[in-house]
Structure 1
């Protein structure tokens, strides 16, 4: 039987998903600002960072109010705690998007380096991971969450590839060092976004099955038996 205040939990869940979509949108816009050398778009991303911060504050307030007033049962408490942790990761994604936009703004007024080839792929993988992790918040699908975690190595590998290419380029053309370093930092931001998606996916496994795999890794994941909670 549904509890009387289930609607409050659905609102909480909805706000987290809205925050996730906003974080995804901001990252895509920041990368577009980089690839198109669009100063106005970069400024738009930077100005919108406060919106994601407000989402985090709102979600924390809703979580604290629910825990204080509603006496949540175990499954509800897991949902609230995981939601608060996920909102923190999403706020960090927003910060990374802002960092990318700031660097894109610097690069937009410099001669362009044609070394952006791996960035669209990195962006797509990282944001697909993030969206899938958020989907798990609705579906409580631990297999999908595990799939997100496994993909993190793809972004790590691309980040290392970008670093190697940019290092070689800086050695050959020392006058590009400052711009190449900015691209390295952008690559690192994308890698961190994938890490935040992984964090959320790990929390979704905890939400779905009550199993904490944050430091043990998915190799230690034990599929629950029928009837386990």
Structure 2
């Protein structure tokens, strides 16, 4: 049964009257481009299905501390708004992409870390993709929680944040109102899980079909998939 074939319930009537959910994607110099855009595309695709069903979708913003153009690690430039513009605006979700230079980013971004800490008190949920988990941890939002990050960064993360339980194998992890994911393309799995939590399994499946991706890998699937391991040369 598709979403537009569902019976008209009071819950759906209330949903139709709700405002769109505001999602802020946090940008900073040397951000990973796919960490940002892969998750964004999931919500962009979800908007198509939600509008077709007469349901409110998502309002997506990419924002940085200074606003304006932000260079990505890959060399492309992303245009952003200032994070300060959202001080008095209700934010549903904050998503923090990662960077291959995350340790330098942490050293250079105390104001961003402070913004994450303050905003976490009012946003419905906080999420990270790849090494964006480092910034949530630096803000003190992950203490005592189980989290995921890119497997390449696992040793560094455990040294820097011993108070956080790192799940080295998980594709993504939800703990309370905090969601974290493994590297790069795992941001798609994370975003599909967020859409499912908001809009149901059928909508998440519609998004996956629209994007021509696997519906969603289980959150406890190893970051090293059996298929990938079978393709590696012996001893690699």
Which one has a larger percent helix, Structure 1 or Structure 2? 1
The answer to whether TM tops 0.5 is no
Which one has a larger percent strand, Structure 1 or Structure 2? 2
The TM-score with structure 2 as length reference comes to: 0.29
